[in-house]
Chains A and B, each alone.
Chain A
Amino acid sequence: MSVSAPILRRRANQAALYLSVCTLVLIMLIPIGWMLSTSFKPLRDVFQTPPQWIPDEITFKNYVAQFNEVLGTLMLNSMIVAVGAAVLATFVGAMTAYGISRFRFKGGALLMLFFMGSLAFPVPLLMISLYSLFVKLGLLNTYAALILGHTAVTIPVSIWLLKNFFDQLPREVEEAAYVDGASPLKVFLFVVLPMARPALAASAIFVFVVSWNELLFGLTFTSTTDMRPLPAGITLVFLQEFEGAWSEMMALAVMVSIPVLILFFFFQKTFLRGVTAGAVKG
């Protein structure tokens, strides 16, 4: 059978489509690719012209150089703070979201509006009062200050994500448990929370990523290197000592990205489902 002109045209369109998608995606990934490429080069190969995408010589030295006590401490600090904030914001967020979703009361919508609106509160303005508050409570230079700060700025999104999930969750299961004699608290803890695992994961990942990223609280509410989280520590230690060793710098950048990239690699589907379900609904 000969191929007709419209079919040829359609195939050409398809090819153009794939080509443009691939091009766009590749352009998006160039910075990450270049970061990886540079991180595996010996320093002398970094300054080649024209630039080499595949290194002539692959070395892991730049990574080995990062295994030092300072980066280890910063990583550990960030991990503790991010996990703490993720757990706190997600659990408290789930309680609030469930309350707004299942209790009929005036002001529920208003409360939601306030939570979402608080995302626009200027963080430096909040920090002024938080600083004085943490000084009074003796929380400066503790994990608690960072966990609380990160929880506060992420909890609105956590509530929003989880409320959308609960709104879409059919109530029959809960009503059955309620009729069977479980108290509302038990229904929440033993029926709702287990069903909400995907949404809880989405919220926790979101909080973790934001916390891992956060610079200002880290700079301001900690004062010693052994308490600093990654972004603040890198700014104050590594960047101060930087003298053009770009390959090592890129290895550092890769290592800082790895925890969140791994987290995302495994939970991407869960996370996207959580975020888009809420977003599209409104």
Chain B
Amino acid sequence: MDVLYFAWVRERIGIPRERVETGAETVAQLVEELRAREPRYEAAFADLSALRVALDQGLADFDAPLAGVREVAFFPPMTGG
């Protein structure tokens, strides 16, 4: 699946998007896999309460299943308007 990062999540991880092969069943499991990779991922995902997630461009929860999902995005709370 494609994993996208925005705002300070993108800056901490250092890339805007990447292709991830994963067996994770939920968003939370995917986050744990990513966190275990490198310190920059750990820095981005250290506080999940400061993060939001979208699955296929719709807001979702961290316990949401990933089956059939093609695009996951992680970002801080939005500040539009």
Q: Do A and B come from one complex?
A: no
Measuring CB to CB, which residues of chain B are less than 8 angstroms from any residue of chain A? none
Measuring CB to CB, which residues of chain A are less than 8 angstroms from any residue of chain B? none
